[in-house]
Amino acid sequence: MKKAIFAMLAVAGATTAASADDLILVDLSVTNQITITSTAGLSAATVSGTDNIGVYFEDFFGTNSLGSAGSTLVPGGDIRPVGTTTDGSPSLFHFTSDPGLNLFSWTNDASSSFTAGSQAFTGAATYNLTAAAYAAYTANNPIGRTGNLWFEADNLPDLPNASVIGTYRVVPVPGAMSLFGVGLIAAARRRR
């Protein structure tokens, strides 16, 4: 039993440690809502461009027929690259049937830059989603799923001219580790 508990804790710790390159956490735990939060993760590339094109979440949707992103920003969103000023309007975009998601329009600054080895993003943004959009957002994104973040790109055809700056990760719903702990307790009791 002790070996099983140790193994589960090791897996949980490894999952946490593996997030060093994660620049953005994606939370889909609230029905019809997505929250995108920056981490202290470091950019993997030095690249500059405009926020008119933005950051592409590779294979976020996988195969889909969703038209627009189906999202409305909740006031107060300020996710943006470190070193830029927020204009309070970071937006999500999706080309019909493209497998990825695009985050753009976060600043009025002339350009946005990422520097290899430096923190990439700051801030967070929450968006209300239509029911159809929420279904599409959650269909390909189990907890723990990761994917590449590309800059400057807004759809799949842009990737040959863009750079991978890091990854995004779909995070567990609040209390997931509590449920993990309850499972351990139940396993220990059953064992007795």
pLDDT higher for 2 or 100? 100
Q: Strands 91-93 and 112-114: what pairing? A: unpaired
User: 108-127 pLDDT, tens per residue?
Assistant: 999 999 999 999 999 999 99
User: 5-35 pLDDT, tens per residue?
Assistant: 334 334 444 333 343 489 999 999 999 999 9
Q: What is the mean pLDDT of the chain?
A: 82
Tokens linked to 184:
């351990």
**pLDDT at position 89:** 93
Tokens linked to 167:
């990854």
Look up the pTM and report it. 0.79
Helix (H) or strand (E) holding 56: strand 55-57
Tell me which residue has tokens 């909740």: 74
pLDDT higher for 4 or 148? 148
